[in-house]
Amino acid sequence: MEESKRTFYFLKLFLITLISLLFIELTFKVIAFKNLFGLELIRIFIFSISASLIVAFISSLFKRRLSKVLVSIFIFFTGFYALLQLTFNNLLGNYMSLNASSGGGLARVVSQIPEFIKSIRFEYLIVFIPFIVVLILFIKCKSLLIYEKPKTLPTIMIIIFIVASELLGVLSVNLSILEDKNQIKSNKELYKAPTLLSLSLKQFGTLKFFERDVLYMLFPSDDYSLEIDKPTADEPEDIDYKREIDDTEFRELLNTETNSTIKQLHEYFLNKPITPKNEYTGYFKDKNLVLIMVEAFDLIAINEELTPTLYMMTKEGWYFDNYYTPRYSCTTGESEYIAETSIIPSSTVCTPNTYLKNNYTTSIFNLFNNSGYFTSSYHSWTDEFYNRSVLHVNMGSNLYMDFNDLDMTMPYGWPLDTEMFNNSYKYYADKDKFFTFYITSSTHFPYDYDTTVTRKHWDKVKNTDYPDVVKRYLAKAIELDESVKLLMDKLEEDGILDDTVIVMFGDHHPLKMSLKYLDEYSSIDRYEDFNMDRLPFMIYNSATEGKVIEKTSSTFDILPTLANLFDLNYDPRYYTGVDVFSDDETVVIFTNGSWITDKALYDSTTNTYKALIGELDQDYIAKVNKKVNDNFYVSDKILTLDYFKYRFKTQ
């Protein structure tokens, strides 16, 4: 009888925990992935049983008051973690890793707590229903749990069940029958290294993902198989287009390297095909370059009446009509980082903050430095979120200046871009050749209340037919437009406008703005495929005729494309992206492993693909998936091992 009571005590705790956990997991699955059913549901159910057995067993070792507290804490924590993930995704467009939070992502959220709280949708709070119900149940039903001292036999049986459920869960990870065909990473790979956050959350659920995330942070896994293929690219027919790279020193490094991973990377890069030159090589050779990363630069910012300079640039410059900005863990900082390095950021840390002291011999700053340019960079805010004062200098920027260095006026909200452009121009305009990198901020959220920028331009938008949230965004876009016009006027006054190329791209779409507004005022369906991340990208030179470039491209392609246009001395094998004007296939790589090419797009979270041109070869999806996985692995090793320190140690 005593053993029966003891078992009943445990079973009640187990059922309360299991039902609560399943409710939270299924709620998260529906909200996050708009899908309840799938093969992964079996695995999530097994993991939930295992976790509930463990929690119930530990709680049953204590008297009912403490056991209630332990179960309640567990249910609250699970719901709270699910809420954090959903809100983080709503605010920044991706999910969070503890590693990324410790690397700077958490600091950004903490500094924007009001915006984070505003990003909590009502439906997210459903995850707290189990906690509330259990709390009421424990308070009202005092006789629900009757404690009995643990007995040996039931305890052994419970431990056996716990071990069996854990083994069954691990088995489910390794069963191919519970894995989608063409899945970009196997469940076994995700379990060992849950670096594709969205896919890992979908496959394992929030609680198991949290466990694997912690373990991966403490014990990183590295057993990826990097296949090295010998180059098969044909030599260009025109000998003038051949890109000559002397690999003598590189091969010596390969032969003398003792670290197996470094050696593998040497071999990988040596065997990558070298992208030939083309008719656009050196198109802008020896001209100046102003590269501008625009905060929240969206398609709706291009308006013929309100932002005439931006509109003119899309018509008279080179406009890339199928350009995407993939969002990674630290949205702004990592979009910038991609443009500077063409390296895939790590999903487990905030890359520009964690790896700011790595070797960046191949960065865009150093490429222009090596071609005799004066390089400089400017941002209209401080190092509050990203330590650019260290990172940019380490990447080769001869001069980096921020809000304080430029003696800018403290705003209500974000600073004026016109002030940054005006105050910084004198530092580079008199140089023989300059590469200037700007990071703007005027178009940053909020859009739901007035700031210095919106008040400055409100009269220009107040009588338009847009909703107020869009009016405020457009008021900020007007500030951006005027700052670019100011720059062009200064360049023209100094007689160097024709000798200067202006390139603009965005870090992400306007965060904290409903997608329905972006969709309503865009010329494309923003709900379709990955069109939320389809943004403006233009290359403008006043002496060059405008055109539309339809080839698919992304932030990864900016560096190699500009390096080719300016005929810089660069090795295309070191970059994730490619020169858009080459015959190489471009691949837009998203943080969850999804991708787009000219031929197809693949969604890793639903494991579905869509042909964009004709019929696809059956092996095409697997081939691109392998290429994407290789790029993730190689980029991770470049970062974690500081690979270029070894590659260029003799320079």
Q: Do 328 and 258 share a structural domain? A: yes
Q: Do 265 and 138 share a structural domain? A: no
> Does residue 253 sit in helix, strand or coil?
helix
pTM reported for the whole predicted model: 0.90
| Domain assignment of residue 489, given as a range | 248-578+634-647
Q: Do 530 and 387 share a structural domain? A: yes
As a whole-number percent, the residues of the chain with pLDDT over 70 amount to: 93
Query: Residue 387, Cβ neighbours under 10 Å: how many?
Result: 16
Give 236-284 pLDDT, tens digit per residue: 566 678 899 999 999 999 999 999 999 999 999 999 999 999 999 999 9
pLDDT at 2: 47
Asked if residue 88 lies in contact with residue 31, where contact means CB atoms within 8 angstroms, the answer is no
Confidence of residue 147 (pLDDT cuts 50, 70, 90): low
Query: Is the pLDDT score of 105 beyond 60?
Result: no
Among 218, 235, 262, the domain boundary falls at 218
Query: Is the pLDDT score of 107 beyond 60?
Result: no
pLDDT at 8: 77
Q: Do 107 and 256 share a structural domain? A: no
What total of structural domains would you count in the chain? 2
Q: Do 444 and 317 share a structural domain? A: yes
DSSP 534: B
Query: Is the pLDDT score of 622 beyond 50?
Result: yes
Would residue 33 count as lying in a domain? yes
* Of 320-329, 590-599, 605-614, the least confident: 605-614
pLDDT at 574: 98
In this prediction, residues 28-32 reach a mean pLDDT of 95
Query: Residue 369, Cβ neighbours under 10 Å: how many?
Result: 18
Q: Which residue has the tokens 């410059």?
A: 317
Q: Do 191 and 286 share a structural domain? A: no
In this prediction, residues 321-325 reach a mean pLDDT of 98
Burial class (CB in 10 A: 0-12, 13-18, 19+), 449: exposed
Confidence of residue 103 (pLDDT cuts 50, 70, 90): very low
Residues 562 and 282: their CA atoms lie apart, in Å, by: 9
> Does residue 586 sit in helix, strand or coil?
coil
**Higher model confidence: residue 127 or residue 185?**
127
Give 464-478 pLDDT, tens digit per residue: 999 999 999 999 999
Which of 476, 357, 473, 490 lies closest to 423, judged by CA? 490
> Does residue 325 sit in helix, strand or coil?
coil
Residues 240 and 142: their CA atoms lie apart, in Å, by: 86
Would residue 333 count as lying in a domain? yes
Q: Do 189 and 291 share a structural domain? A: no
Q: Do 532 and 643 share a structural domain? A: yes
Asked if residue 187 lies in contact with residue 203, where contact means CB atoms within 8 angstroms, the answer is yes
Confidence of residue 1 (pLDDT cuts 50, 70, 90): very low
Give 427-486 pLDDT, tens digit per residue: 999 999 999 999 999 999 999 999 999 999 999 999 999 999 999 999 999 999 999 999
pLDDT at 114: 76
Would residue 619 count as lying in a domain? no
Would residue 211 count as lying in a domain? yes
Confidence of residue 110 (pLDDT cuts 50, 70, 90): low
* Of 45-54, 181-190, 219-228, 554-563, the least confident: 219-228
Neighbouring residues of 479: CB distance < 8 A, sequence distance ≥ 6: 416, 417, 418, 442, 443, 453, 456, 457
Tell me the range of 87-96, 158-167, 436-445, 612-621 where mean pLDDT is highest: 436-445
Query: Is the pLDDT score of 301 beyond 80?
Result: yes
**Higher model confidence: residue 582 or residue 90?**
582
Which of 622, 604, 544, 634 lies closest to 201, judged by CA? 604
Give 365-399 pLDDT, tens digit per residue: 999 999 999 999 999 999 999 999 999 999 999 99
pLDDT at 141: 78
Q: CATH no. for residue 540?
A: 3.40.720.10
Q: Which residue has the tokens 């949290």?
A: 210
Give 604-621 pLDDT, tens digit per residue: 988 889 999 888 877 899
- Give the helix/strand (H/E) hosting 530: none
Confidence of residue 149 (pLDDT cuts 50, 70, 90): low
> Does residue 180 sit in helix, strand or coil?
coil
Neighbouring residues of 615: CB distance < 8 A, sequence distance ≥ 6: none
User: Could you tell me the strand order of the sheet in which 374-379 lies?
Assistant: 399-401, 374-379, 434-439, 288-294, 500-506, 537-540, 318-320, 547-549
Give 52-85 pLDDT, tens digit per residue: 999 988 988 888 788 889 999 999 999 999 999 9
Q: Do 253 and 199 share a structural domain? A: no
What are residue 603's phi and psi, to 5 degrees?
Answer: -105, 110
Residues 504 and 298: their CA atoms lie apart, in Å, by: 11
Would residue 223 count as lying in a domain? no
Average pLDDT, the chain: 91
Would residue 540 count as lying in a domain? yes
Residue 144 is encoded by which pair of tokens? 């629900």
Q: Do 495 and 641 share a structural domain? A: yes
Query: Residue 604, Cβ neighbours under 10 Å: how many?
Result: 24
Query: Is the pLDDT score of 100 beyond 70?
Result: no
Confidence of residue 212 (pLDDT cuts 50, 70, 90): very high
Q: Do 285 and 142 share a structural domain? A: no
Residues 566 and 282: their CA atoms lie apart, in Å, by: 5
Give 272-286 pLDDT, tens digit per residue: 999 999 999 999 999
Query: Is the pLDDT score of 578 beyond 70?
Result: yes
Would residue 595 count as lying in a domain? no
Q: How far is CA 169 from CA 71, 74, 497, in A?
A: 22, 20, 64
pLDDT at 234: 59
Q: Do 295 and 194 share a structural domain? A: no
Would residue 472 count as lying in a domain? yes
Helix (H) and strand (E) counts in the chain: 24, 14
